[in-house]
Every structure is written in C-alpha cells, then in structure tokens.
Amino acid sequence: MNAGLRITAFAAALAATFGTAYGVGQGIGPVVEDEPPARHDTHAGDGDAAQPGTAARSDHPDHSGQESPPAGGLQIAEQGYTLDLRTPRLTAGRTADLRFAIRGDDGRAVTAFRREHDKELHLIVASRDLNTYRHLHPTRAADGTWSIPVSLPRAGGYRVFADFTPEKKDAENLTLGADLAVSGTYA
C-alpha cells in the first residue's frame, strides 16, 4: 500500500470515529444534574431558596448573602488592629530578636489579650516556600512590645502571622500577617 493510500485510509477512519462519537453524544444528550449547585445563601429544605437573578431571602441574620471575610493572615490590619513589625529584616543563620506590637485603632500598643491555648499570642513564621516553619510564643513587655529570639536558616521571603484575641468585650480572634525579609546567600 502506498503512502497516499495509507494517509487517506487513516483520515477516513479518523473521520468515522469522530462521526460515531458525535452521533452517540447527540443521541444520549448532555449530562444534567437534577439539583443546582449549593450556595451559601440557600439552605436545603428552606423552600425559599434564591433563584438565579433574584435576591436571596433568609430568616437567618448571619446568612444574608454577604461575603465571608478574607482568610486570616493575609492583611496587616483588620478590625482596627495593626501588626507593627519592628524588625522587618533578619540575617540568615544569626539569632536576633524579632520585635513587634499589635496597635489598636488609636495607634497605641495593645497590652491586654485573652489567653487562647494557654498563651496570649501565637506567632507563626513561615518561609514563602513553606520549607521553614516556626510556631513561637513571644514575650510581651509592659509597653505592649512583643519579642522573641529567632534564627532562620535560609535567606528569602518569610511571612509572620500573629494570632490573638484582644481582651475586649465581643472581640474576635484575629490573625494578622506581615512580610519579613531574611538576608544572606540565596541558594
């Protein structure tokens, strides 16, 4: 069989395969789910679920269709509190004090925190590639400045997460985050 005839036979077989697949697909029809995908603003069995293009009606005040708050640690400030990283840079392989304060909406350092898991504040330091991770419990001075000796093994970008609950009526647990640069030889 010459090359031209083989290519023609292959093209005909390919066209027949696609034609058969198209015919079967048209005969079966599209796959349709019986129920629409679940949405946060609807509840199973409510009977008053929102239809596409209409506003959600809910008897639950906490489920009024509002968006969820962003994940903790993505922002440096939230609900009037700010993570003030006093040590924005460290050197790889050297121990140095990591110092920071949590500032209230008045700009002053917060000095009263609720104990969560036996500590007033949990500090997480993680490298951007997540190869280095530290869960630390710094010490708070009377002026509201927190500090802890830290040694990070490699140069690069790190993220500092401060997890705490202010000692204030109706205060929620917060996780604030800030970037930390670690200088040194990059591998």
**Could you give the domains of the chain?**
77-183 (2.60.40.10)
One-letter amino acid identity for 27?
A: G
One-letter amino acid identity for 127?
A: S
- Strand-pair partners of 91: 183
Q: What is the pLDDT of residues 37-53, one digit of tens each?
A: 555 454 444 444 444 44
Q: Where are the beta strands (DSSP E) in the chain?
A: 77-78, 81-85, 89-91, 96-103, 121-127, 133-136, 139-140, 145-150, 156-164, 174-183
Measured CA to CA in angstroms, residue 68 lies from 27, 41, 176 at distances of 43, 11, 17
Confidence (pLDDT) at 52: 47
pLDDT of residue 18 exceeding 90, the answer is no
Is residue 148 a contact partner of residue 125, using CB atoms and an 8 Å limit?
Answer: no
Confidence (pLDDT) at 103: 96
Q: Which two tokens stand for residue 86?
A: 């006093």
